[in-house]
Chain A
Amino acid sequence: SYDLTQPSSVSVSPGQTAKITCSGDFLTRKYARWFQHKPGQAPVLLILRDTERPSGIPDRFSGSASGATVTLTISGAQVEDEAVYYCYAPADNNRVFGGGTTLTVL
């Protein structure tokens, strides 16, 4: 099956490092992406191909991968980083999103 599992929530204090994991068997053969989604806004692509950051994305956002798990790391989280974060991967003729992780920075 093509499921991606994320924790429902992560909390950090401003300036701390937040890590959000995403697990799925098919991630061993497919690259993952990460999106940031704030209420009322369009989702924003943060990471592609597990670790690559598109131009314009702050370098405090980084991605890593190990086996069937990918991780989004936000180094020095800021209050403005509060959002829901989704992992995503293509799966043959489907596209799969993780359930989303709400990041609280307070």
Chain B
Amino acid sequence: QVQLVESGGGVVQPGRSLSLSCVASGFNFRDYGMFWVRQAPGKGLEWVALISYDGSQRYYVDSLRGRFTVSRDNSKNSLYLQVNTLRPDDTAVYYCAIDGGERWGRGTLVVVSS
């Protein structure tokens, strides 16, 4: 069955960088656009970034453009999110999902704290 498994979260100090990964299985990963969504504590879902099926197109929420970079490796069925210059308000559960939200991972928690 379709599975998306995120990893890479943890506790990180403000100003540092972090790379999140999402491994896909159970479907033809290379045929689908993918996105990252986050949920800060007590807040709603926030779309973060989108990447096309072949990685040629990447889009970001305006407020995060420049610090976040989405990428993928179709040979490894993997999606990535590089987050630079982390801030406390980046604390959230980060989910990967097929574009459109047909399937989601269970998320990985990022806590930005000194």
Contact = CB atoms under 8 A, between A and B. Distances in A.
The A interface, classified by DSSP as helix, strand, loop or mixed, is strand
Contacts of A54: 102
Contact of B95 (A43, A88, A94, A95): A43
B54 interface: no
A20 interface: no
Interface stretch (B24-32, B41-49, B77-85): B41-49
Contacts, number: 48
B107 A42 contact: yes
B53 to A, nearest CB: 15
Interface string A14-52: 000000000000000000010101000111110010000
Contacts of A35: 45, 101
Nearest to B57: A93
A102 B44 CA distance: 10
Interface string A47-68: 0100000100000000000000
A100 B45 CA distance: 8
Interface in A73-106: 84, 86, 88, 90, 93-100
B61 interface: yes
Contacts of A98: 44
Question: Number of contact residues on A: which range applies?
Answer: 20 to 34
A97 B106 contact: no
Interface of A: 33, 35, 37, 41-45, 48, 54, 84, 86, 88, 90, 93-100
28 contacts: A33-B100, A35-B101, A37-B45, A42-B95, A42-B105, A42-B106, A42-B107, A43-B45, A43-B95, A43-B97, A43-B101, A44-B104, A45-B100, A45-B101, A45-B102, A84-B44, A86-B45, A90-B100, A93-B57, A93-B59, A94-B47, A94-B50, A95-B47, A97-B37, A97-B47, A98-B44, A99-B44, A100-B45
